[in-house]
Amino acid sequence: MLGHPIGVTMPWVTIKTGLTTPDGHEEKLTEYICDHPGCPNIATHMLGVIVALRVSASVCDEHLPKPAAGNHLELK
């Protein structure tokens, strides 16, 4: 798990591409994984963080909660 600057840890995966960067290091792609059970997708949205417990929740587009009809705030 990757340590976040505020002390939060999140599941992540690193893929070694086999390509070499101009400075001679192997290129690596690191992504966070969706927290929905069984979902292998890349997390694209942070739902929230509880710093005191050092936990967070991040999900992919597919598992992003949808606002209930009539249950939203309008900013003016």
Phi, psi of 38 (to 5 degrees): 80, 0
In this structure, which amino acid lies at residue 57?
A: A
Q: Which residue has the higher pLDDT, 43 or 69?
A: 43
Query: Which DSSP helix (H) or strand (E) runs through 13?
Result: strand 12-20
Residue 67 has pLDDT above 90, yes or no: no
Question: What's 23's DSSP letter?
Answer: T
Q: How far apart are CA 19 and CA 4, in angstroms?
A: 27
Q: CA-CA distance, 63 to 72, in Å (whole number)? A: 19
Q: Grade residue 3 by pLDDT with cuts at 50, 70 and 90.
A: very low
Tell me, what's the pLDDT at 50? Answer: 87
Looking at the predicted structure, is the pLDDT value of residue 10 above 80? no
